[in-house]
């Protein structure tokens, strides 16, 4: 049986789960690729690299030069550029690609969601009356909220945001999920939050804030996912491992 070389495009809990499952599996030689947006990522138990590839052509060249047999896209649901690059590069290099597409959150009874297409629309949806806003959108997309300075913001991020991107009247909380509902309710209560702005990332790591908002009757401005390119997809890391197992047996 030939050892298969696997490139995992990571940065998510699914990518971490794949890395843990494949560590020590002699049938597969995985390499986890991280974009480098998080300053102190959790060190994976498999070989990894940090940084980009130089677009789809660069990724295709890397796949060919390093003789990868397979690629799994386990990037964040909002990492639309690398998703497009992965599909194009897989076609150029002739490398089979599987994309893990985490299911979206769906509104539940009692939810008060306003769904918007992007961050500019999210900032506009806050309106003109001053509110206390909980932003859980990461550190890279804060600039539109500088155009809505009437509000007070509580911003949670894994890494400290660039001070130049912060809206006025902002408090920053540095924290990494997963979070539970009691702690999320305490945060929302403690900061007297009027509205939450978040991205429809799906998954369980940060879902507790939605349950807390539902219980407290706090409205949520939900930024919809970008459209994803066509690819063979699964919902979970476990399903991706089953896909990989089938290809290992064929090797």
Strand duo 220-223 + 195-199: pairing: parallel
> What's the confidence (pLDDT) of residue 231?
95
Tokens of 233: 């997809």
Whether 4-102+227-250 shares its CATH topology with 113-223 is answered: yes
Distance in angstroms (rounded) separating the CA atoms of residues 20 and 40: 18
Q: Report d(CA 77, CA 126) in Å as an integer.
A: 24
Show the low-confidence residues of the chain (pLDDT under 70): 1, 37-41
**Per-residue pLDDT at 202:** 94
Domain 4-102+227-250: give its CATH architecture: 3-Layer(aba) Sandwich (3.40)
Q: What pLDDT score does 39 carry?
A: 61
Rg (CA), the chain: 20
Give the class (CATH, top level) of 113-223: alpha beta
Q: Which long-range contacts (CB under 8 A, 24 or more apart) does 104-109 make?
A: 104/77, 104/200, 104/202, 104/225, 105/200, 105/201, 105/202, 105/207, 105/210, 105/222, 108/210, 108/214
Task: Provide the pLDDT for residue 129.
Answer: 98
Q: What's residue 40's pLDDT?
A: 61
Q: Ramachandran region of residue 247, left (φ > 0), alpha (ψ -120 to 50) or beta?
A: alpha
Question: Which residue ranges make up each domain of the chain?
Answer: 4-102+227-250, 113-223
Q: pLDDT tens-digit profile of 70-120?
A: 999 999 999 999 999 999 999 999 999 999 999 999 999 999 999 999 999
């Amino acid at each position: 049986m030939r050892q298969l070389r696997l490139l995992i495009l990571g940065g998510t809990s699914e990518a971490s789960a794949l890395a843990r499952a494949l560590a020590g599996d002699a049938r597969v030689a995985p390499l986890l690729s991280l974009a480098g947006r998080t300053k102190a990522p959790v060190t994976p138990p498999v070989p990894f690299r940090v940084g980009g590839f130089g677009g789809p052509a660069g990724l295709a060249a890397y796949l060919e030069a390093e003789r990868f047999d397979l690629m799994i896209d386990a990037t964040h649901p909002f990492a639309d550029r690398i998703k497009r690059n992965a599909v194009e590069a897989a076609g150029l290099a002739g490398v089979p690609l599987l994309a893990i597409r985490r299911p979206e959150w769906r509104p539940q009874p009692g939810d008060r969601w306003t769904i918007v297409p992007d961050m500019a629309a999210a900032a506009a949806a806050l309106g003109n009356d001053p509110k206390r806003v909980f932003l859980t959108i990461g550190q890279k997309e804060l600039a539109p909220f500088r155009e809505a300075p009437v509000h007070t913001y509580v911003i949670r991020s894994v890494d400290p945001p660039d001070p130049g991107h912060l809206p006025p009247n902002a408090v920053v909380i540095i924290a990494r999920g997963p979070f539970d509902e009691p702690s999320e309710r305490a945060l929302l209560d403690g900061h007297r939050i009027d509205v939450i702005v978040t991205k429809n990332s799906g998954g369980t790591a940060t879902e507790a804030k939605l349950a807390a908002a539902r219980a407290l009757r706090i409205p949520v401005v939900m930024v919809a996912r970008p459209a994803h390119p066509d690819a063979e997809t699964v919902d979970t890391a476990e399903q991706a491992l089953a896909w990989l197992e089938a290809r290992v047996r064929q090797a």
